[in-house]
Amino acid sequence: MSQLSISSLDASLMVRDAKGRYQPATADQILEAARQAIEHKMQRGASFSSPAAVKEYLRTKLAGFEHEVFAVLFLDARHCLIDYAEMFRGTIDGASVYPREVVKEALRLNAAAVIVSHNHPSGNPEPSAADRALTQRLKEALALVDVRTLDHIVVAGSKTTSFAERGLI
């Protein structure tokens, strides 16, 4: 698969403005279109067939933000998607995450499992000590209501780090 930079895409993709004229697409327009396409592709009931599919989905949803976004994939007992929710937004280097709110949403949706994720606008996919501590708190809180935490994926541009693959969850 060839690698394209956003700057090379700017020149090749066009969007129609309010007057019907075509203009070169901005990076933000390209990212928004990608988010809409992945949302259409992975609708409620879709099964994540592999860790790579989960990473691709989350990269598309979370890459490109200039601030941290904490999102949760709520899954049924067969690990099919019930809902994707961007639950918390923060600053360039952090977001306040409240486990109570994640548990409430998991119960409301009757989720059997979750995959949590957030982005690192810095471009460094390495989990911080705070990321590890938060993951443990979330896992413990969700376990109290029999919701499994399958993974925590950190997205940094085109790179991802999986807590499950590293044995951190």
Nearest to 10 by CA among 28, 27, 35, 34: 27
Q: What would the two tokens of residue 64 be? A: 């490109």
CATH code of the region 44-162: 3.40.140.10
Q: Give the pLDDT confidence score for residue 150 in this predicted structure.
A: 96
pLDDT at 103 over 60: yes
Considering the entire predicted model, what is its pTM?
0.73
φ, ψ for residue 19, nearest 5 deg:
-95, 5
pLDDT at 57 over 80: yes
With a CB cutoff of 8 Å and minimum separation 6, the contacts of 7 are 27
Q: What is the mean pLDDT of the chain?
A: 85
φ, ψ for residue 152, nearest 5 deg:
-130, 120
More confident residue, 10 or 105: 105
Per domain, the residue ranges of the chain are 1-41, 44-162
pLDDT at 38 over 60: no
Report the pLDDT averaged over residues 37-45.
54
